[in-house]
Structure 1
Amino acid sequence: MAPPPSPASKLRAMLANEKEIIVCPGVYDGFTARLALNAGFEVLYMTGAGTTMSKLGHADLGIATQTDMVSHASMLASLSPSTPLIADADTGYGGPLKDQVVNKRCGHLKNKELVDLDTWISRIRAAVMAREESGGDIVIIARTDALAGQGYEEASKRLRAAVEVGADVAFLEGVRSVEEARRFCGEMSGVPCLYNCVPGGVSPVLSVKEGRDCGFRVVITPTLALGAVFESVSEAYRKLLEEGDTERDGVPVRRLFESCGLEESVEFDVRAGGKLYENGV
């Protein structure tokens, strides 16, 4: 029997289908990843900003380490090993993906500093070489933040160069208009392009349909869960502090546990011959 396709090969197959747009909800911990999987999403996006905020309680200013990111990505990937996970890697920690200097900052903040073009290309090349030497099939998404400070021509030149040395997807951060989005996707000549949808940032908030119409093949929503949690949890905590409201009609704890695989875990233990849960939980 042939082994099942790897997550990377699944993602490559999806990218090869030019009629499809890949929608990736931003997840930042095990709980939001579970909720995204329960909703039926086929690809997840591990947001670097969300990882920094959830693990460290700080804004996205490049303070998360490689260990933070790798351990977090490993945990999220383990929840559904067959599901592709697109993972932020900040400036690459000496390797791939972004062209900001250390310490980087969120692409929708101001005054970002960039490395030169040669350093940028060497980071992409390092990622490609690492992929080849490991025998893996990781999909490399090349991101540039050059648009804000160095203009469209420099940003597109960087991404075209990244694709020439082996990157698979082009990610132009901070797109400023629908017209610029369409121009970028058209000029990349069939290379899959990724759109970063961040409300309140520098880019227009596009629906999935609008993103597809512009020519994007991947849409990520890094702050979608963060925003929902910020609003709902802030309000719940305010009510508790100011009104003593303990959410009498809140979500039952068992339902919360079930959203994170309670029944599946119990069933697995029983099938393996375990006795701890044979009478239920």
Structure 2
Amino acid sequence: MASTGTNGARYNPKPAAARLREMLARPDSLVACPGVYDGLSARIMLREGFDCLYMALRKTGAGTAASKLGMPDLGIITLNDILENASMIASLDRTVPVIADADTGYGGPIMVARTVKSYIQAGVAGLHIEDQVQSKRCGHLAGKELVDPETYYARIRAAVLGREEMRSTTGGDIVIIARTDSLQSLGYEEALLRLKKCIEIGADVAFLEGPTSLEQMKQACQELAPAPVLLNAVPGGVTPHVSQEEAKKLGYKIMIYPAISFEAAYQAIWDSAKELKQTKDIIITERQKKEGVKAVFGVCGLMDCVEFDKKAGGQSYNKGV
């Protein structure tokens, strides 16, 4: 029997990567992925009905790095940190693919292959691997250091080989996204050369970080076609802001919003902290009076858990919640 996910969609038994590939294959469509960094932000985006989620190491990775470690995005977070978070988010609704940042792959070729296999086992639909050095930084910060082309290609080749091994042994799959941060320091031609080579090796999607004009964005999509191209929408970054409709016209197939959850949470928590410190009290809104904390529990699947308990014969919630 078909079931429904937390966003109300009919359950699709296909693996996450297969569903993401179907989305990318749709003509004249754009896969819009809001950034999430924890279970609550993911639940909210699922409740709003988004078809795909994105979990990064920066922004949402300042999300993952900051929420798990209280640290900035300076290459501190490890594979285990990000894998635990990605696995949890991917498990919340198996009908919705999750794309996760895989940083630099966390090491040499053997480690990159292990990363890819681990992401597949976690149920992640897609990942991106970049060409910065391991002690890397956010793509919209200055001073990024890059590895040489052959080191980068070895990372992508290792990712492809790791995926092939999983396909042959478990049937597992993942969409590999090749990201380059070389545009700022090495120029457009070198950046496109790197991405074209990665597609040739076996990457599925190209990710040019930090284009600085609409013309450059459109040109990259045209030159990399028919490979899908990903746009990173970072407010205040070096890339011009465009709507989803504008991005689609430029030729993009995926658009990620890495900062949307983390920055909203950051501002709201900061405002609440200042309010409590300065007034020694909190303002209770009409929504809070009406809904209370149960609204948050509801988003996180409270009634689904209650119903499951009843079906299993449990009696813990017979008097209500």
TM-score for the superposition, normalised by structure 1: 0.97
Q: 1:36 aligns with which of 39, 45, 48?
A: 45
Q: Residue in 1 aligned with 2:245?
A: 209
SS across alignment from 1:266: helix
Q: Distance in 2 between matches of 1:89 and 1:54?
A: 18
- Deviation, 1:51, is 1.1
Once the two structures are superposed, what CA deviation does each residue of 1:155-201 show, in whole Å capped at 9, x if it has no partner?
Answer: 10110000001100000001111110001001112210000000111
Give 1:221-240 correspondences, 5 Å limit: 221-240=257-276
The structure 2 residue matched to 1:157, chosen from 164, 188, 193, is 193
1:120 counterpart = 2:120: no
What is the CA–CA distance in structure 2 between the aligned matches of 1:56 and 1:212, rounded to whole Å?
A: 36
Question: How far is 1:82 from its partner?
Answer: 2.3
Which residue matches 1:279? 319
CA distance in 2, matches of 1:60, 1:210: 30
Question: How many positions carry a matched residue from both structures?
Answer: 281
Identify the residue that residue 85 of structure 1 maps to in structure 2: 98
Deviation (angstroms), 1:116: 0.7
Other structure's SS at 1:242 match: helix
1:62 correspondence with 2:98? no
Partner amino acid, structure 2, of 1:81: R
Name the structure 2 match of 1:266: 306
Could you tell me how far apart the structure 1 residues matched to 2:70 and 2:308 are? 35
Q: Which moved more, 1:206-215 or 1:31-40?
A: 206-215
Q: What is the distance in 1 between the residues matched to 2:314 and 2:185?
A: 60
Deviations 1:231-280 (A, max 9, x none): 22211221111123323226310111101100011111111111211222
2:280 matched to 1:244? yes
- Range with greater deviation from structure 2 (159-168 or 95-104): 95-104
CA shift, 1:209, in A, is 1.3
Shift of 1:137: 1.4
Residue 187 (structure 1) aligns with: 223
Judge conservation of contact 1:18–1:217 (CA < 8 Å) in 2: no
CA distance in structure 2 between the aligned counterparts of 1:31 and 1:47, rounded to whole angstroms: 15
Q: Deviations over 1:30-89 (max 9, x none)?
A: 000000000000100002122112111222111000100111111111111221000011
SS of equivalent residue, structure 1 residue 171 = strand
* Aligned positions of 1:136-175 closer than 5 A: 136-175=172-211
Q: The residue matched to 2:35 in structure 1 has which SS?
A: strand
C-alpha distance in structure 2 between counterparts of 1:123 and 1:166, whole Å: 11
The runs of 5 or more residues in structure 2 that have no matched partner are 3-11, 114-128
Aligned pair partner of 2:138 in 106, 119, 126:
106
For residue 274 of structure 1, what is the amino acid of its counterpart?
G
- Corresponding residue for residue 14 of structure 2: 5
Of stretches 246-255 and 56-65 in structure 1, the one that deviates more from structure 2 is 246-255
- 2-side partners of 1:264 and 1:9: how far apart? 27
Cα distance in structure 1, aligned partners of 2:269 and 2:240: 26
The code of the aligned residue for 2:76 comes to I
Deviations 1:9-48 (A, max 9, x none): 0100010112110000000000000000000001000021
Return the offset for 1:117: 0.6
Cα distance between partner residues in 2 of 1:16 and 1:264: 33
Counterpart-to-counterpart distance in 1, 2:66 and 2:250: 31
Residue number among 212, 234, 240 corresponding to 1:198 in the alignment: 234
The 2-side partners of 1:114 and 1:276 are apart by: 56
What's the TM-score once normalised by structure 2's chain length? 0.85
Secondary structure (helix, strand or coil) at the match of 1:232 reads: helix
Secondary structure at the aligned position of 1:99 is classed as coil
Rounded Cα–Cα distance in structure 2 between residues aligned with 1:60 and 1:174: 17
Decide which of 148, 154, 161 is 1:129's aligned counterpart. 161
Structure 1 CA distance, aligned partners of 2:298 and 2:282?
A: 22
